[in-house]
């Protein structure tokens, strides 16, 4: 397979996560309220924090990092990853404006950005960076 095709395929996990986010955004609040109640019971003081958005965009940032491979080591790409996630979060909030019982929320966008930023920082930590880069390099 051509190297260009292989590079593009590295973004397939990000596309799958983006499609999953889109599908979840198409659901009503009642349907979504069954997803993370266990977490809210475990940490009641953080029940106002939207963990669904945080986790989804944390994972999306990891998949973008995987897609960019070696280039993701540079901080310019790390910033680009967070910006891509926030931009997708913006389109997600716009999409929610068309879903019955849902509305765009700036707090959700904030949680998206926090999740993406923390993912980028976590994979940059020395203890995690080396195993993560080895994992990413295995599929290059």
User: In sequence order, what DSSP letters do the residues of 59-86 get, joined into one string?
Assistant: HHHHHHHHHHGGGGGSHHHHHHHHHHHH
Residue span of the structural domain in which 64 resides:
3-138
> pLDDT tens digits, residue range 94-120?
999 998 888 889 999 999 999 999 999
In whole angstroms, give the CA distance from residue 110 to residue 103.
Answer: 15
For the chain, the domain total comes to 1
Count of CB atoms situated within 10 Å of the CB of 30: 8
* Whether the predicted pLDDT of 18 surpasses 60: yes
pTM of the full predicted structure? 0.84
């Amino acid at each position: 397979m051509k190297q260009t095709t292989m590079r593009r395929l590295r973004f397939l996990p990000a596309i799958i996560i983006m499609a999953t986010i889109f599908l979840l955004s198409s659901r009503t609040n009642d349907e979504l309220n069954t997803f993370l109640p266990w977490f809210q019971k475990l940490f009641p003081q953080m029940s106002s924090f939207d963990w669904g958005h945080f986790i989804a965009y944390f994972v999306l940032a990891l998949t973008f990092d995987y897609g960019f491979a070696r280039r993701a080591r540079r901080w310019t790409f790390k910033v680009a990853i967070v910006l891509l996630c926030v931009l997708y979060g913006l389109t997600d909030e716009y999409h929610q404006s068309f879903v019955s019982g849902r509305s765009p929320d700036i707090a959700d966008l904030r949680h998206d950005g926090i999740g993406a930023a923390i993912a980028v920082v976590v994979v940059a930590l020395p203890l995690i960076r080396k195993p993560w880069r080895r994992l990413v390099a295995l599929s290059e």
